[in-house]
Amino acid sequence: MERTLSIIKPDGVKKNITGEIIRRFETAGLRVAAIKKAHMTKAVAEGFYAVHKGKFFYDELTDFMSEGPVVLMVLEGNDAIALNRKLMGATNFKEADPGTIRADFATSIQFNVVHGSDAPDTAKFEISYFFAETEIF
Ligand code: ATP
Ligand code: MG
């Protein structure tokens, strides 16, 4: 069993496809172990994406992630980190496999609907950034 952090980004929340995205996770065998809605401040978004600090897209990315509410989830399952990334599709929606969330719903490299942790250490950091252990079931 592995845990990963999933975020439905502000563009996904605005498109009103939260249920559709969760259905894809559940159908693939992932379980929602924790869930809440939040509106990040710019500072919270900067802390979350600190790994990208200094990159040309960092300021725009953190503006985007703090411009509206998101849905935060801890997903649990076998190989959850890789499975979630597979369901999301490539960062650039034009390169995402058909049937993935980003292929179906993303509108640019930036506005790509979902976030998913990319490794066990980042999953641990990202889950603890938003959830207390007592909020995860
Ligand atoms: P995420 O971390 O959001 O799950 P990812 O791991 O597929 O996405 P990263 O390289 O970590 O991709 O980039 C984080 C986010 O920054 C991307 O999801 C996207 O919203 C934005 N981003 C990445 N590369 C670019 C780019 N070249 N131009 C604009 N935005 C970008
Ligand atoms: Mg990433």
SS3 46: helix
Q: In this structure, are residues 79 and 10 in contact, taking their beta carbons and an 8 Å threshold?
A: no
The string of pLDDT tens digits covering residues 51-77 is: 999 999 999 999 999 999 999 999 999
The pLDDT tens digits of the residues spanning 78-137 come to: 999 999 999 999 999 999 999 999 999 999 999 999 999 999 999 999 999 999 999 999
DSSP E strand stretches across the chain = 2-8, 31-38, 70-77, 114-116
pTM of the full structure: 0.97
115 is catalytic: yes
Please name which of 45, 43, 52 lies closest in space to residue 10, comparing C-alpha atoms: 45
Q: How far is CA 118 from CA 19, 51, 74, in A?
A: 23, 12, 13
- Ligand 2: centre distance to CA 19 (Å): 23
Probe ligand 1: pick from 61, 73, 88, 107, max atoms within 8 Å of CB? Answer: 61
Sign of the four-CA dihedral 36, 107, 46, 115: positive
